[in-house]
Amino acid sequence: MNKKMKKAFIAVPLSVSLLIPTFSVADAHGHESHSKGHMSAEVTNPAIDLRASLDTLLSEHAFLAVVAMQKGIDGKEDFEAAAGQLNQNTEALSKAVASVYGEEAGMQFKEIWSSHIGYFVDYVTATADNNEEGRKKALADLDGYRVKQADFLDQATEGRLKAKDLEEGLKVHVDQLVWAFESYRTGDYEKAYDNITEAMNHMFMTGKGLSWAITDQFPEKFENKSVDTPAADLRADLNSVFSTHAALAALTMQKGIDGAKDFEAAAAELNENTDDITAAVESVYGAEGAAQFKEIWSSHIGYFVDYVTATAENNEEGKQQAIKELDEYRAKQAAFLDTATEGRLKAADLEEGLKVHVDQLLAAFNSYTGKDYPAAYKNISEAYGHMFGVGQAMSGAIVDQFPEKFAGEKPSEMPKTGMGGMSRTNNDAVMWSFFGFLLAALTGAMVLRKKATNN
């Protein structure tokens, strides 16, 4: 069922559609261990897929925005390309909005959304010019943007997303980007990279809210499925940690070859992300499995660092050696996941998927060092999108393996919150429960009279 990419309601951008087929769950539902159609135990359906698509676009927006601001203030050559990729992301988001709310709404969205990117550019420019007034104006413009954007989404979703809540959410987004930039500018790199992770992660909440509102608004277009299930949350959580890995890896490699001052902080954040992924693995497969996973996973980060180092040293042999080690890594990582998921993810498929991941990161890096920046950011975007396929495959396998952990059904009936001691019966509207009456009389709770007449 996973290969059958249902035609998503929104226009799925290229980067998202590229990723799934090579890394699919091996016939996860061939097992008879649990009943099919268990609504909350599926990781893919039109509603959950919409959520994942929006998560992809929104979180990549946050990542690219942070990168573009860094490159902007540093006057780096790749600024234009980073900003260009950010604009492509805006295009894709606007198309998604248009596919749900119509062309005109899509245009309106694009105008509002683009404005906030513009204000961030203003903020960076004013900072570069040491122009305090300009910075303040940019922040004030961002405040104005929040109101407009919140109003747009409130209207579009017919009040399912409340402007008040949206403004709060948007404030967090804006603040995270400003803070990431300010931390970077002032050399507090650790904070800057904490903020990148937070800023990306925040967008998954936005994606959930937006996809929830859309599926609630047009239920029939999403087979009446919910975006809010434990299985969907697992998919989103894995998407988040895996995509953050790709984003940080690509950026860390750039910082490495540039010998940038924030390289250490970027690498440290990448390691923290490894810890996050390991914690997720541990929650499913236990401490021992997690330790094994961490060793294997960290090794591939190490080999990428080797590759960067060899590139820096113009050491062709070293680069080849790193690639060879990455090949070996793929086999190990694939075998681990095949075993852990009891064959739900097949080693052969996994190796293929991991090859895509490794190749995308290497291509992004090589394009960067070769100064083909548009290609570099296209590769990064693809590497980023690919990880959402990883999240889908992993979550699909895990949910299939441990269905009871993801049952989490909501009630289908209201609770039974009364025994009738103080109420009229439908059989005899006058008769009171004798004991109830007695107690009422004893406690002198005369309010009861009111209750009785109300009923």
Partner 1 sequence: MRYFLGLIMLVLALSGCSDAKPSIKENANAEKETNVNEEEEQVASTSTELTPPEGLTLKADNEGMVPASIEIPALDVNTEIEKVGRLKNGQMGVPKGFDTVGWFSEGAKPGAPGNAVMAGHVDSKTGPAIFYKLEDLERGDEIIVKDNDKQTLTFVVTGKEKYDRKNAPVDKIFDYAYGSKLNLITCTGNFNRDEGTHEERLVVYTELKN
Closer to partner 1 by Cβ: residue 260 or 362: 260
CB of 306 to partner 1, least distance (A): 7
CB of 40 to partner 1, least distance (A): 11
* Closest listed residue to residue 151, CA positions, set 165, 138, 140, 137: 165
CB of 181 to partner 1, least distance (A): 9
Closer to partner 1 by Cβ: residue 12 or 163: 163
Closer to partner 1 by Cβ: residue 57 or 174: 174
Q: What is the 3-state secondary structure (H, E, C) of 171-227?
A: HHHHHHHHHHHHHHHCCCHHHHHHHHHHHHHHHHHHHHHHHHHHHHHCHHHHCCCCC
* Closest listed residue to residue 393, CA positions, set 52, 2, 1: 2
Neighbours of 100 (CB within 10 A): 21
* Closest listed residue to residue 213, CA positions, set 148, 177, 169: 169
Categorise residue 102: left if φ over 0, alpha if ψ from -120 to 50, beta otherwise. Answer: left
What's the length of the chain?
455
Closer to partner 1 by Cβ: residue 269 or 400: 269
CB of 3 to partner 1, least distance (A): 29
Burial of 443 (0-12, 13-18, 19+ CB in 10 A): exposed
CB of 34 to partner 1, least distance (A): 17
Pull the structure tokens for residue 395. Answer: 């979550």
Closer to partner 1 by Cβ: residue 231 or 397: 231
Closer to partner 1 by Cβ: residue 103 or 275: 275
Neighbours of 3 (CB within 10 A): 9
CB of 11 to partner 1, least distance (A): 23
